[in-house]
């Protein structure tokens, strides 16, 4: 039997179409990539998380205007300063000294080469913090489960750029992707408390955060006790400002259990006790 090339082509097309209709449903289950809700997930699969880490690091590099250790320098693996800044940590002289990763020039090539390298440790300021935002946005798109991206992004949007609505929207996006994240709940509570002055919502969000924290595995609780301390100290301040001194003391006592400086918290407790005592009318 002799087949013309045209008939052969038609037969092959028909076969391809038939196979496609049969296989399409099964092929959907072969990989999770196609189900991904963003283009990065579809392109890179789980490998996108590597890029997300890189882009988050790029945000820190931009924060330092390029003064950043390479993988070959000492201190390359230390905690990112944008994370520390988002937790309200102010840089001390000691920190500054530790971040001088360049040290003294090792030879004339190194010494001369420093003319062409950034050797000044600076941080972005005067609204230039906006330059980090593209990297944080990309990091969030690539790895929606990376919680620091949302907390750091929201912190800089709120504190340095004054964009409160965008900070809140970014945190809500993070919460949708990570419904159990205590860190995001804490930041969201700060926005309700500090910006909207909606103390009831702030209280609710922080209390929800404390409840979520208590459901974490024991090891995680030990590792993240700093977050717990932030919750309970903030709640104590909220109750103190609302005049609920007894509740404020309760929260401070909880904070004492995890705080590295329980003595300082004791002073606050004593001050609140005094207020309670002075507010109680003396018995005749």
Partner 1 sequence: MNKIFAVAGVVIKELYRRKDFYVLFVLTAVLTLAAGAVNFFHDEKIIRYVKDLCLLLIWVSALLVAIITTARQIPAEREARTIFPLLAKPVSRAQVIAGKFLGCWLATGVALFIFYFFFAIITGSREHIWPVGVYLEAAWMQWAMLAIVIAMVLLGSIYFAAPSSTNVISFIVVAGILLVGGHLNAIALSQPEPMQTVLAWVYFVIPHLEWYDLRDFVVYDLGTVPARAVALATLYAAVWTGIFLLLAWFGFRRKNLTT
Kindly list the residues in this chain that would bind partner 1 in the complex (CB under 8 A): 62, 65-66, 70, 72-73, 106-107, 109-110, 112-113, 115-118, 130-131, 133-135, 137, 157, 163, 166, 170
Q: Print the SS3 string covering 23-73.
A: HHHHHCCCCCHHHCCCHHHHHHHHHHHHHHHHHHHHHHHHHCCCCCCCCCC
Minimal distance in Å, beta carbon 117 to partner 1? 8
Max CA pair span of the chain: 120
Give 6 or 109: the residue with its C-beta nearer to partner 1: 109
Please state the φ and ψ torsions of residue 95, each to the nearest 5 degrees.
Answer: -60, -45
Give me the least distance between CB of 259 and partner 1, in Å please.
Answer: 35
Q: What does the DSSP assignment read for 209-263?
A: HHHHHHTS-HHHHHHTHHHHHHHHHHHHHHHHHTT-HHHHHHHHHHHHHH-S-HH
83 vs 102, beta carbon nearer partner 1: 102
Question: Shortest approach of partner 1 to residue 119 CB, angstroms?
Answer: 10
Q: Is the dihedral of CA 161, 164, 170, 171 positive or negative?
A: positive
Nearer to partner 1, 112 or 226 (CB): 112
If the CB atoms of residues 115 and 278 are measured against partner 1, the closer one turns out to be 115
Q: Contact at 8 Å (CB) between 49 and 42? A: no
The residue behind tokens 């404390």 is 210
CA dihedral for 171, 172, 178, 182, sign (positive or negative): positive
Least distance from C-beta 96 to partner 1, angstroms?
19
For partner 1, the closer of residues 130 and 201 by Cβ is: 130
Nearer to partner 1, 130 or 275 (CB): 130
Kindly tell me which of 62 and 228 has the beta carbon lying closer to partner 1. Answer: 62
Report the nearest approach of partner 1 to the CB of residue 168 (Å).
Answer: 12
The answer to whether 169 and 200 have CB atoms below 8 angstroms apart is: no
Minimal distance in Å, beta carbon 191 to partner 1? 16
Q: Least distance in Å: CB of 129 to partner 1?
A: 10
Q: Please, which residues have CB within 8 angstroms of residue 18's CB and are 6 or more apart in sequence?
A: none
């Amino acid at each position: 039997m002799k087949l013309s090339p045209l008939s052969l082509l038609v037969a092959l097309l028909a076969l391809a179409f038939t196979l496609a209709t049969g296989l399409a449903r099964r092929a959907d289950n072969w990989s999770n990539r196609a189900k991904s809700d963003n283009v990065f997930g579809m392109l890179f699969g789980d490998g996108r998380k590597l890029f997300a880490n890189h882009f988050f690091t790029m945000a820190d590099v931009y924060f330092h205007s390029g003064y950043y250790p390479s993988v070959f320098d000492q201190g390359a693996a230390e905690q990112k300063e944008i994370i520390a800044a988002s937790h309200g940590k102010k840089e001390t002289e000691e920190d500054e000294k530790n971040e001088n990763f360049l040290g003294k020039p090792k030879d004339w090539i190194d010494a001369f080469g420093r003319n062409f390298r950034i050797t000044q440790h600076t941080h972005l300021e005067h609204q230039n913090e906006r330059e980090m935002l593209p990297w944080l946005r990309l990091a969030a798109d690539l790895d929606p489960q990376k919680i620091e991206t949302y907390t750091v992004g929201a912190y800089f949007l709120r504190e340095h750029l004054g964009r409160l609505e965008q900070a809140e929207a970014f945190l809500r996006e993070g919460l949708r992707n990570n419904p159990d994240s205590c860190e995001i709940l804490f930041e969201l509570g700060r926005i309700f408390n500090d910006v909207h002055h909606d103390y009831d919502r702030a209280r609710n969000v922080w209390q929800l955060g404390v409840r979520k924290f208590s459901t974490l595995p024991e090891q995680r609780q030990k590792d993240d006790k700093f977050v717990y301390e932030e919750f309970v100290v903030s709640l104590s301040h909220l109750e103190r400002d609302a005049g609920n001194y007894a509740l404020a003391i309760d929260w401070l006592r909880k904070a004492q259990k995890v705080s590295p400086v329980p003595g300082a918290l004791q002073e606050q407790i004593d001050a609140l006790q005094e207020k309670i005592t002075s507010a109680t009318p003396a018995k005749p």
